[in-house]
Amino acid sequence: MNNFDFVCPTKIIFGKGTENRVGQETKKYSKKVLFVYGSGSIKKTGLYDKVVKSLKDNGVDYIELSGVKPNPRLSLVYEGIKICKENGIDFILAVGGGSAIDTAKAIAVGALYDGDVWDFFVGKAEIEKALPVGVILTLAATGSEASDSAVITNEDGWYKKGIHSDLIRPQFAIMNPELLYTLPQYQTAAGAADIMAHIMERYFTNVRNVDLTDRLCEATLKTMINNVPRLIENPEDYDARAEVMWAGTIAHNGLLDTGRIGDWASHRIEHELSAIYDIAHGAGLAIIFPAWMKYVYKHDLDRFVQFAVKVWDVDLTFTDREEIALEGIKRLEDFFRNIGLPVTLKEANIPYDRFEEMADKCTSNGTTTVGQFVKLTKDDIINIYNLAK
């Protein structure tokens, strides 16, 4: 096990009716906030009215910034930064999924910076300060409600890049599983794949003697495997929603990182798919992660056997260890397909003609390789795209 620092100051407010506490929590930080949300679904569900009432009841003024899209755009971040600077905003409230939260985080950093906020995403600047952010979560997927990260897409060239800093962890995250009842099945499934990918990025490590976090990763994956099909069957299964929602937070708040070094190649490779083709991030991961596994499993066959046996209950009576490892990968693919996700580029109607461009972008930013479990070159990434066909 490696040395580690673990910091996760986000206050989790979990359960039925907790969205009504947003004004009470927000006023601890500010009386004038930027209220960031998406395309208007929170108005259809009545959540918008609850948020506005709670803010007003607690004397909190707000300026709205709507229009957040999946794979959130830099242009809206710029708009939010401008609003904050012109109106003296000192707190940002994000209501939505990871796209709204990541937009809020990027605005929080840019509002206190004199240069272009994109500087932080391309390594030209380091985050030294940020406005505080609060969250009401409406989609279990990215884990951004308690993470140190945010990912934004720059429309100029369609680059999708991330930032990391404990300074952008939300101050609070309000999480009511009931708010997820109206999600389309596909969003539930894509969110589940994103959560599972966050766990697997950490699980596949070269660090030895990490038994505790191995078990935590396996348990969280089993929780997803057991509960996601229940949500596909019954979107209003509160207990299953609660399990998946909390798993999404645990998957990406840093706890499963402790003492180990994760990989993150699959995320980097997928970012190029969702940047160019605007596929849901989780759906893209359902395509890329199994392909990555097929490409690298021989690097540490024992770990892939462990994954197959501990997570997918593969029978050790299979003829050889390689067959066990490959069966585990197959069961992951089958799971994604059974909950309605594509597991190949063809199934997602993504063409094969931009692999080199995507691999170039993936290895930009001053690095010639991606990943830690196996360091992948541009040629390796092209090979993984080909395996994903």
| DSSP secondary structure letter of residue 167 | G
Tens of pLDDT, residue by residue over 45-84, are 999 999 999 999 999 999 999 999 999 999 999 999 999 9
Q: Which of 113-122, 271-280, 366-375 has the lowest mean pLDDT?
A: 366-375
Confidence of residue 382 (pLDDT cuts 50, 70, 90): very high
Q: What is the pTM of this model?
A: 0.96
Tens of pLDDT, residue by residue over 267-278, are 999 999 999 999
| DSSP secondary structure letter of residue 259 | T
Q: What angle do CA 389, 327, 290 make, to 5 degrees?
A: 30
Helix residue ranges per DSSP H, 205-237: 211-233
Residue 153 has pLDDT above 80, yes or no: yes
d(CA 289, CA 148) in angstroms, rounded, equals 22
pLDDT at 111: 98
What's the first-to-final CA gap in the chain, in angstroms? 37
- What is the DSSP code string of 103-165? HHHHHHHHTT-SS-THHHHTTSS-------EEEEE--SSS-TTS-SEEEEEETTTTEEEEEE-
Residue 318 has pLDDT above 80, yes or no: no
User: Once rounded to an integer, what is the mean pLDDT over residues 303-327?
Assistant: 92
Contact 89, 60 (CB under 8 A): no
User: Once rounded to an integer, what is the mean pLDDT over residues 81-103?
Assistant: 98
Q: CA torsion sign, 137 to 142 to 143 to 149? A: negative
Judging by DSSP bridges, how do beta strands 61-65 and 32-36 pair with one another? parallel
Contact 256, 199 (CB under 8 A): yes
Average pLDDT, the chain: 97
pLDDT at 89: 98
Burial 311-327 (b: 16+ CB within 10 A, else e): bbebeeebeeeeebbbb
